[in-house]
Structure 1
């Protein structure tokens, strides 16, 4: 049997990782400035993370949600405290797309409406409902293109207000920062207006913090810069440092009923052990503060590079617009051993582990400056 050929990938077989560093099966070393789409939050093979998982393996690897799992309740308390959402309720699942599917379902159950407002340029996942609110028709089949969704431009307050005033909107979903679109940040005013208009029109505000959450932007959730409190928050990528886990944080005004949501693997014992280790490490090592410090340092050191058309972001979620982005990204990897990401055709996306220091930042800056000078002069 062969693999279903859907991925365009580098011919690099990674076999080891420690902190922000990786190595392949040929002994080549790499600096990870992308974290596997922002998944690696506390660094590869963190000792406390490995301890938590190994210890749990010796106890119990899995049982379904047919039995009580104290690890879920302990983790929910940790997450509520570090995020500032202690009064909210938590549903655990497996991926960002699944979290968004459940968020949309909860909203519809709550207000008995179906229409969703999403933002142009959005990416919310590849399952049926998540694809319907993802602004990329190429990814949607006829099967999942039938949902009632309207897209409005980011920060277009008037368009949002007009759609909500029709009275048939179940939810508005906004990414804390759009990652796939190119690290596009909603204005604080737009988020405040969205919160206000949703409340006035019996619609729920959902913040997709799957990539922008878990301390990546210098606050636990990116929307907290705006001082708002969404009805539902989804989170995933940095949550398990590579172990699949996702969550839906749900306002206490939304009432649960038995069977409303469900999952076989969600919130299993190993995933809770991984997620607990992540929060404990973020707190112990002050990684949210570190994301601010190193993010500011990167912005300051890169701001005078003439090859940069624009630079956006918060903390360690950074987008750099470049004329020859693809060439620069390839050189960073092939000539300097630095993994980065891409958003579209011109934005280089940086999502390194929150644990990186000045040394790793300088390694990236030095390579980036040398390459952009060469590409520009060449």
Structure 2
């Protein structure tokens, strides 16, 4: 009998060790890991530079609270600001906390309360995160949600332009919806979002928790469309597995987060900052990001070949974030792939999601695609 709350539908696999793109379970079975902690270990498991930075910090100091100056935070913030549209950073512990902070910052800075988000979005499991999420299943059973959130169809510029919500503090979106099915936004839609914000004098919040830190071949996914967000939320890949999140905002918002307005006990602690600095030193290099973009194009081109199978409805993604939409539920296919040594995720009932490490090799991509082809061929249907 487990003494854990059964909040997860866990796989019957326990990982005992992992390195790079590979993981080994307690039975000695080896897996090609295209989950990577749900887009967290962007540099793969056990990256030597990140490991070394954390080990060195372990012998110095772990935690002193945010009552003290923290030079490691300043260094990490400088790197995030240099590679984004923001000027100021608040460090926290997770993506949900980052989105919570982003929502608080937008409301306090504007003095307005309404926030427009999108159907099939996912922004976390706090009350503000659930309220921002455009999926009813996330909210079921938890009573009244935080008020002020309004949902518009994703990738529908006309629906957005006709949205009549007043007193809009912000529009909040993912440039590629992850949990909602790996849905990339069109450029037309993103430009409509930017125009809507300008019309309503609203802030633009981009949730980069899954798409950020190099995942799409740029430091942040909004760069591909030339967006100019006021607030960016990041986490997941930020510490390559060490729990950490951040809110990045423009200088004009600084007064809204004055002393005493927001805080965290553990956020920005020395161990987390050691992990962040080492991770960003590797990922935020143009050669590295260009390589991610190239491998992302290669992955999606290889996956396009799956469309020959009747079971496959669509293949889509951005960079090293890919989704294979099928004409039927994919839970059994994901189990079969795991049995064949490939770890992948669902993104809704009918989509197989691939999130390899950013330093994956083309040989590993080929192996993954061949395994998927083998498994889906056995489940092929004619439509």
Q: Shorter-chain-normalised TM-score: which range?
A: over 0.9
Are positions 1:15 and 2:16 aligned together?
yes
Residue 198 to residue 343, structure 1, CA distance change in 2 (3 Å): same
| TM superposition shift of 1:36 | 1.4
Q: RMSD over aligned Cα, in angstroms?
A: 1.8
Q: How does 1:209-224 map to 2 (within 5 A)?
A: 209-224=208-223
Provide the residue aligned with 1:45 in structure 2. Answer: 46
Residue 144 to residue 100, structure 1, CA distance change in 2 (3 Å): farther
| TM superposition shift of 1:201 | 1.6
Provide the residue aligned with 1:323 in structure 2. Answer: 327
Q: How does 1:45-124 map to 2 (within 5 A)?
A: 45-81=46-82, 83-85=83-85, 88-124=87-123
Residue 84 to residue 207, structure 1, CA distance change in 2 (3 Å): closer
User: CA–CA distance in 2 between the matches of 1:267 and 1:153?
Assistant: 36
User: CA–CA distance in 2 between the matches of 1:350 and 1:148?
Assistant: 34
Provide the residue aligned with 2:371 in structure 1. Answer: 367
Residue 15 to residue 129, structure 1, CA distance change in 2 (3 Å): same
Q: How does 1:301-312 map to 2 (within 5 A)?
A: 301-305=302-306, 306-307=308-309, 308-312=312-316
| TM superposition shift of 1:146 | 3.6
Q: How does 1:237-256 map to 2 (within 5 A)?
A: 237-256=236-255
4+ residue runs over 3 A deviation:
141-144, 283-287
Residue 166 to residue 79, structure 1, CA distance change in 2 (3 Å): closer
Using structure 2 for the length normalisation, give the TM-score. 0.93
Determine helix, strand or coil for the equivalent of 2:195.
helix
| TM superposition shift of 1:255 | 2.5
The answer to whether the 8 Å contact 1:95/1:245 transfers is yes
Runs of 5+ in structure 2 lacking a partner? none
Provide the residue aligned with 1:268 in structure 2. Answer: 269
Runs of 5+ in structure 1 lacking a partner? none
The answer to whether the 8 Å contact 2:214/2:284 transfers is no
| TM superposition shift of 1:262 | 0.6
User: CA–CA distance in 1 between the matches of 2:291 and 2:363?
Assistant: 13
The answer to whether the 8 Å contact 2:88/2:254 transfers is no
Residue 138 to residue 301, structure 1, CA distance change in 2 (3 Å): closer
The answer to whether the 8 Å contact 1:62/1:269 transfers is yes
User: CA–CA distance in 1 between the matches of 2:144 and 2:165?
Assistant: 24
Determine helix, strand or coil for the equivalent of 2:5.
coil
User: CA–CA distance in 2 between the matches of 1:80 and 1:148?
Assistant: 30
Which has the higher mean CA deviation after the structures are superposed, 6-15 or 319-328? 319-328
Provide the residue aligned with 2:359 in structure 1. Answer: 355
| TM superposition shift of 1:61 | 1.0
Provide the residue aligned with 1:6 in structure 2. Answer: 7
Provide the residue aligned with 2:158 in structure 1. Answer: 158
User: CA–CA distance in 1 between the matches of 2:200 and 2:96?
Assistant: 26
| TM superposition shift of 1:287 | 3.3
| TM superposition shift of 1:144 | 5.0
Using structure 1 for the length normalisation, give the TM-score. 0.95
> How many residues get paired?
374
User: CA–CA distance in 1 between the matches of 2:118 and 2:285?
Assistant: 36
User: CA–CA distance in 2 between the matches of 1:195 and 1:280?
Assistant: 31
| TM superposition shift of 1:142 | 4.4
| TM superposition shift of 1:143 | 4.3
| TM superposition shift of 1:154 | 1.0
| TM superposition shift of 1:136 | 2.3
The answer to whether the 8 Å contact 1:129/1:144 transfers is no
User: CA–CA distance in 2 between the matches of 1:371 and 1:138?
Assistant: 29
User: CA–CA distance in 2 between the matches of 1:135 and 1:301?
Assistant: 31
Determine helix, strand or coil for the equivalent of 2:240.
coil
User: CA–CA distance in 2 between the matches of 1:299 and 1:155?
Assistant: 21
Determine helix, strand or coil for the equivalent of 2:232.
strand
